[in-house]
A = this chain, B = another copy of it.
């Protein structure tokens, strides 16, 4: 491993693209005739093809979860602190797969890719996809990679919703499920924040009803605003306070609308940086996927009833200062699993970082993840030994 890449990194990774020609029926009623999914893998698939872990990403994530794309990359993938040799999601034991979801803007088919039927960028024509649709597409990727059953499926936030959906839709295809800082459905307040984010984008005159690519422009102002708002809700009240307090940029107030407080500068920077890497239509549809997810709806709100089919072991993790997906929301899932008689472990982790905590390598959180996946690994070994006898 070269000097500038740490020894516990998965190293240089090369994304791969899987092309699918079998039409995918979507929740919205239309179908996607063909599509691509971009993904990365870390570690090696064992001979039994039983050691695969699927990582499901959240709103602004993508397939690049760990390692580096180039020697001079300044940052590794978004969850590098949890994925690697010897790390909680241990690539010396597991074969880890992370894909960019349909509708994303990281290379999978979505609003920024070309619709082969029209030879135009999809833009606003790309359909709204759901957590259910993603799980279907992920199952097809698993088929293509020859993975019948995942050792684990893991995700935080919107990613956790995908894990929950897997446990209900394909109970035989995963041994364990790790659902972090998530919820069985969004609260009214969550939906309200998402709606403000969407309105921020759609009211930007550069949005052009989503067909901004055709107009050779981008709704930067609106997407930036949506991200600024999102950022506030990802951080805890205390962590924002500790990070910035009322620290000012100058030694006195400016009495204009330039930057007075450092937190203003931070938010503007975060908003601006996001517009350079993310697509506004993808942001819109990701928030809809969040709003729409509600697996218990089909059982009159009885989540335990819906989870009755699940066969995997569950680990739930929540963070004390997360007010976007509070511990109580994770506990709704825990309670439903207990009621349904499932194996469930739960860690409510003290953390100052709010919702963002799920991206930090907090010791108790990492220990819970390691411990749970160790057990999963031991179960694989024991099945293998049984198989050999």
Residues of A within 8 A of B (CB): 27-29, 127-128, 185-189, 191-193, 195-196, 198-200, 202-205, 221-222, 224-225, 228-229, 232, 235, 237, 240-241, 243-246, 253, 255-257, 260-261, 263-264, 267-268, 271, 284, 288, 291-292, 294, 323
Contacts and interface: CB of A to CB of B under 8 A. Distances in A.
A237 B190 CA distance: 9
B261 A284 contact: no
A195 B256 contact: no
> Chain A interface mostly helix, strand, loop or mixed?
helix
A225 B225 contact: yes
Contacts of A288: 255, 257
Contacts of A284: 257
A188 B246 contact: yes
Nearest to A29: B255
Contacts of A264: 191-192, 195
20 contacts: A128-B255, A186-B246, A187-B237, A188-B237, A188-B263, A189-B237, A192-B264, A196-B229, A196-B267, A199-B268, A199-B271, A202-B257, A203-B204, A205-B205, A229-B229, A255-B288, A257-B284, A257-B288, A260-B292, A323-B323
Which of A204, A253, A257 is the most central at the interface, judged by chain B CB atoms within 10 Å of its CB?
Answer: A257
A237 to B, nearest CB: 5
A203 B188 contact: no
Given A240-B192, A253-B292, A255-B27, A246 B200 contact: no
A243 B243 CA distance: 34
A168 B324 CA distance: 38
A267 B203 contact: no
Contacts of A225: 196, 199-200, 203, 225
Contacts of A229: 196, 229
Nearest to A127: B255
A205 B219 CA distance: 12
A362 B203 CA distance: 38
A307 B127 CA distance: 59
Contacts of A291: 260-261
A127 B245 CA distance: 26
Given A187-B237, A189-B235, A191-B246, 15 more contacts: A27-B253, A27-B255, A28-B255, A127-B255, A185-B246, A186-B246, A188-B263, A189-B240, A192-B264, A192-B267, A195-B228, A195-B264, A199-B271, A203-B225, A229-B229
Nearest to A26: B255
A189 to B, nearest CB: 5
B199 A228 contact: yes
A222 B203 CA distance: 8
Contacts of A294: 246
A272 to B, nearest CB: 11
A128 B256 contact: yes
A8 to B, nearest CB: 34
